[in-house]
Copies of this chain bind each other. A is one copy, B any other.
Amino acid sequence: MELHILEHSLKVASIEKEGIQICTHGLIKLAFLASKTRCKFFSLTETPEDYTIIVDEEGFKELPQSDLISVADATWLALNVVSGGGNASSSQPIGVTKIAKSVIAPLADHNISVFMLSTYQTDFILVRERDLPMVMHTLSSEFTLLRVVNGETVAAHDLGVTNGFVKPKLVPRPVIHPLSSPGNMFCVTSLDPDTLPSVATLLMDVMFYSGGSKEVGASGEDSSHIRFFSFSLIEGYISLVMDEQTAQRFPNNVLFTSASGELWKMVRIGGQPLGFDECGIVAQIAEPLATADIPAYYISTFKFDHALVPEENIQSVIRALRTEGAAP
């Protein structure tokens, strides 16, 4: 198995709901006018609390400075696991479950906090740049470590963490944050970048003009429905996570899913904003899912974490995670 350390230097930012107006100019450029920017890594996730942006240094320049934007105090690097050869962008979806024991758990054991971004195409594990030596040391026994440099994959150099480093004892990792499961169901989809312009106004409507509106209630939706939408354009690949109702607004055959009509339920993690320093949150969720062999997407945002699991597994997942939490 290969672990690719991508070359993007990433910033993670939170835009408050009322700040989206001043950011729309830059965000539209990043999402819809790729030829106008050299940004190669852009992700936007809207939750009820805020918009979380993950963006490389080129893209970060497109955001204004404002009190309505908070930026996490670190530069992040994206890792992804590639089974077999080939480069990162052609890798198959793996699911956070598949990397739970090989990547997520060891990093948690070494007190390295991670920020997860599952997309239609792959799962990005974001780590702080300053943690990279420790990350590489931790994962070097399981993986061939490769760095992407100027688009080429090369062997990652040893960064010199060779001693003073004790393999930690593996301890139980109870689920310590409250969990909730919204009523709506989600699709994890993609679309051909060539068809992006044809649905751009619809996507803009969803991304910048639907949040916080009262229309949701008016259309008779379940009050337990959550506002959650994620768009990413990473190295030319588009990924979209949206609920069933939003997906129905798109023309037929524009969105594609790996298994047609596959729907996912969400487990939302956190009773109050989680912050970036606590380690092991992803592991608390991903390990029990891996044990039960339940596939899952996982999207961290500035304030909460979100796992998506198959509709039919949601009850057993919640039960399993609550049991973990109850037995520390």
Q: Which of A9-67 contact B (CB under 8 A)?
A: 20-22, 24-26, 28-29, 32-33, 36, 64
A254 on interface, CB distance cutoff 8 Å: no
Copies of this protein in the assembly total: 2
The CA of A22 and the CA of B20, in the complex, are separated in Å by 10
Count of interface residues, chain A, beta-carbon cutoff 8 Å:
23
Binding stretch for chain B, among A82-90, A103-111, A152-160, A201-209:
A201-209
Contacts from A to B (Cβ < 8 Å):
20-22, 24-26, 28-29, 32-33, 36, 64, 196-202, 204-205, 208-209
Beta-carbon nearest neighbor of A204 in chain B: B28
Taking CB atoms, residues of chain B closer than 8 Å to A21 are 22, 25-26, 64
Beta-carbon nearest neighbor of A215 in chain B: B36
Beta-carbon nearest neighbor of A202 in chain B: B197
Cβ distance A123 to chain B, nearest Cβ, rounded Å: 29
Question: What are 6 contact pairs spanning A and B, CB under 8 A?
Answer: A21-B25, A21-B26, A22-B22, A28-B28, A32-B201, A33-B209
Contact between chains at A197 and B201 (CB < 8 Å): yes
Taking CB atoms, residues of chain B closer than 8 Å to A64 are 21-22
Cβ distance A60 to chain B, nearest Cβ, rounded Å: 15
The CA of A202 and the CA of B20, in the complex, are separated in Å by 22
Contact between chains at B25 and A205 (CB < 8 Å): no
Taking CB atoms, residues of chain B closer than 8 Å to A198 are 197-198
The CA of A208 and the CA of B29, in the complex, are separated in Å by 10
Taking CB atoms, residues of chain B closer than 8 Å to A25 are 20-22, 24-25, 208
Cβ distance A246 to chain B, nearest Cβ, rounded Å: 15
- Contact residue among B33, B199, B205 (Cβ-Cβ distance under 8 Å from A204): B33
- Contact residue among B200, B205, B208 (Cβ-Cβ distance under 8 Å from A201): B200
Taking CB atoms, residues of chain B closer than 8 Å to A36 are 205, 209
The CA of A20 and the CA of B24, in the complex, are separated in Å by 11
Taking CB atoms, residues of chain B closer than 8 Å to A26 are 21
The CA of A82 and the CA of B40, in the complex, are separated in Å by 53
The CA of A205 and the CA of B197, in the complex, are separated in Å by 12
Interface centre among A22, A199, A201 (most CB of B within 10 A): A201
Beta-carbon nearest neighbor of A66 in chain B: B22
The CA of A5 and the CA of B85, in the complex, are separated in Å by 71
Cβ distance A210 to chain B, nearest Cβ, rounded Å: 9
Cβ distance A153 to chain B, nearest Cβ, rounded Å: 32
Cβ distance A205 to chain B, nearest Cβ, rounded Å: 6
The CA of A209 and the CA of B25, in the complex, are separated in Å by 9
The CA of A196 and the CA of B22, in the complex, are separated in Å by 24
Contact between chains at B32 and A28 (CB < 8 Å): no
Beta-carbon nearest neighbor of A210 in chain B: B36
The CA of A152 and the CA of B225, in the complex, are separated in Å by 42
- Contact residue among B20, B29, B200, B209 (Cβ-Cβ distance under 8 Å from A200): B200
Taking CB atoms, residues of chain B closer than 8 Å to A24 are 24-25, 28
The CA of A21 and the CA of B64, in the complex, are separated in Å by 9
The CA of A196 and the CA of B28, in the complex, are separated in Å by 17
Cβ distance A225 to chain B, nearest Cβ, rounded Å: 20
The CA of A29 and the CA of B21, in the complex, are separated in Å by 11
Taking CB atoms, residues of chain B closer than 8 Å to A29 are 209
